[in-house]
Structure 1
Amino acid sequence: MFNTVLLTIDLNAKASWDKALPAAVELVRTSGGKLHIMSVVPDIGSPLVDGFFPPDYEKLAVEAASKALDKLVEDQVPSDIAVKQHLAFGKIHRKVLRVIEQIDCDLVVMASHKPDRVREFLVGSNADRIVRRSPVSVLVIRA
């Protein structure tokens, strides 16, 4: 049923993949499909804040994230599962929505943390944005 499953994770938050990864693996194993695992290094979002970071911040952050993603896949994804990794830098929901289209995925699997009402009122959540804008079904696993 789901041949191409995209799992979105935050490499700095085990809760973002602790329950969602096994669910995604089972879906892919059942269908014989392929698992895509994606993490996004968020951009700073403000030129004012940007000045406090070293000029090569983006490069260093992406390199560190790439190593962490490699390790997570090696340690946590069973060897019988076909997996492809995706790493991006920028606005999380925009990068995820772009990859959904690029890989022609059937399902997005993601974890969502317990809502922080003030934060969500001010900036919204990435899970909410992805659910509302995704052209495919999204399975949200409560972390």
Structure 2
Amino acid sequence: GSSIVSGYFPDGFEKKAMDRARAELHELIENRIPADLPHDMLVAHGRIWQEICRAAEKLAADLIVMASHKPAFSDILLQPNASQVLHHAPISVLIVR
């Protein structure tokens, strides 16, 4: 993150946020994904598309599945994450509309 922005957050904020995200994701998985369905849980922060590509490599994934959205004017200047992943991923990417 930016060192300018980090000055506005209390010490330990990043760790607490990551721990909370992990706990909430774990609870979501426990409540929504059958125990016999193989799955992995990974919480990361950074540029979204880069973290998705890193996670795919780290988890030795076979496929990345992402949702798409209707392009907006801002997408002309800032490519959406799905587009970035599609162009930079080390494996196949399935974009679902």
TM-score, normalising length: structure 1 = 0.60
Shift of 1:70: 0.3
- In structure 2, the CA distance between the partners of 1:121 and 1:56, relative to structure 1 (3 Å rule), is farther
Q: Indicate the residue corresponding to 2:72 in structure 1.
A: 116
Query: For residues 1-143 of structure 1, what are the structure 2 equivalents within 5 Å?
Result: 45-118=1-74, 120-142=75-97
Please state which structure has a larger fraction of its residues in strand: 1
**Cα distance between partner residues in 1 of 2:50 and 2:28:** 23
Question: If you compute each CA radius of gyration, which structure gives the higher value, 1 or 2?
Answer: 2
Provide structure 1 residue ranges, at least 5 long, that are not aligned to the other structure: 1-44
SS in structure 1 of the partner of residue 77 of structure 2: helix
Q: How many pairs align?
A: 97
Percentage of matched positions with identical amino acids? 38
TM-score, normalising length: structure 2 = 0.84
Provide structure 2 residue ranges, at least 5 long, that are not aligned to the other structure: none
- In structure 2, the CA distance between the partners of 1:80 and 1:90, relative to structure 1 (3 Å rule), is same
CA RMSD of aligned residues (A): 1.7
